[in-house]
Amino acid sequence: MEIVNLNKQVYNKNQYVKVINTSFTQLIPTPVIEPALIVPTLQDFFNNYNSLFFQIPKFGDTNSHQYIINTSSNYIGENQDNETIQALIDEITQLREENLNLQQQLFAI
């Protein structure tokens, strides 16, 4: 037969609250954070963009480099500049055609 010594630790009222957890945290389910609820930081966005760059299709109405360019251009007002540039290109084309016609008329005389 073996003798076993049992020790009992007793706390007074002031020590009890400091030593023993009296909350029921084990009975409350821990909230699950879904990945969709985690908002990436700006740095996370660009890290992901850079790592996915060559997987993103070049063209398409959505989820493409073309979509990113169009959306960003609209946001910063770049499309207004593009419209002005296109109008100037059209005018240059028209003037070149007129110039060619005038040169042809001169040589025809």
Q: State how many domains the chain has.
A: 1
On whether the CB atoms of residues 54 and 63 are closer than 8 A, the answer is no
- Which structural domain range is residue 42 located in? 13-47+57-108
28 part of a folded domain = yes
Of the CA atoms within 13 Å of residue 68, those in its CB half-sphere come to 10
On whether the CB atoms of residues 104 and 98 are closer than 8 A, the answer is no
36 part of a folded domain = yes
pLDDT in 10s for each residue of the chain, 109 residues: 888 888 888 878 788 777 777 776 666 677 777 766 778 899 999 999 999 999 999 999 999 999 998 898 888 877 667 778 889 999 999 999 999 999 998 887 6
Rounded Cα gap, residues 103 and 2, in angstroms = 122
3 part of a folded domain = no
Q: Which two tokens stand for residue 74?
A: 């609209």
1 part of a folded domain = no
52 part of a folded domain = no
Q: Which two tokens stand for residue 79?
A: 């499309």
2 part of a folded domain = no
8 part of a folded domain = no
83 part of a folded domain = yes
pLDDT for the residue numbered 58: 95
